[in-house]
Amino acid sequence: DVKVTQSSRYLVKRTGEKVFLECVQDMDHENMFWYRQDPGLGLRLIYFSYDVKMKEKGDIPEGYSVSREKKERFSLILESASTNQTSMYLCASSFLGALGYGYTFGSGTRLTVV
């Protein structure tokens, strides 16, 4: 069964900490995405990548960075966590050229910044 695995289901961090959210896929997909999900706002794209070492800003990249050193792994980095980054973070992957049906999502990481 194809999988996108996010390293933590729940995470609590302190304001100002550097936070790493890890995502690994086993489908050899080119595209990988990070979204955050908030009530009433839906999913908003933070960053995406369509190849190793490539990254593109999404709609809300401020306060975040990403790393894609290997095809299967896409990391989201909060350089200095703030309380307004408390959210559900969803990683997804798809093959290049997918119309959208090829998306596979991870189970999400619920991050609380205190």
Q: Which residues bind other proteins (CB under 8 A)?
A: 4, 31, 33, 35, 40-45, 48, 50, 56, 58, 90, 94, 96-101, 103-108
> Encoding tokens for residue 47?
């960053």
**Least Cβ distance, residue 14 to other proteins (angstroms):** 26
* Residues whose CB is less than 8 angstroms from the CB of residue 53 and which lie 6 or more positions away in sequence, other chains included: 68, 69
Nearer of residues 43 and 77 to other proteins, judged by Cβ: 43
**Least Cβ distance, residue 103 to other proteins (angstroms):** 7
Closest by CA to 76, choosing from 2, 7, 1, 3, is 7
**Least Cβ distance, residue 65 to other proteins (angstroms):** 18
3-state secondary structure of 85: helix
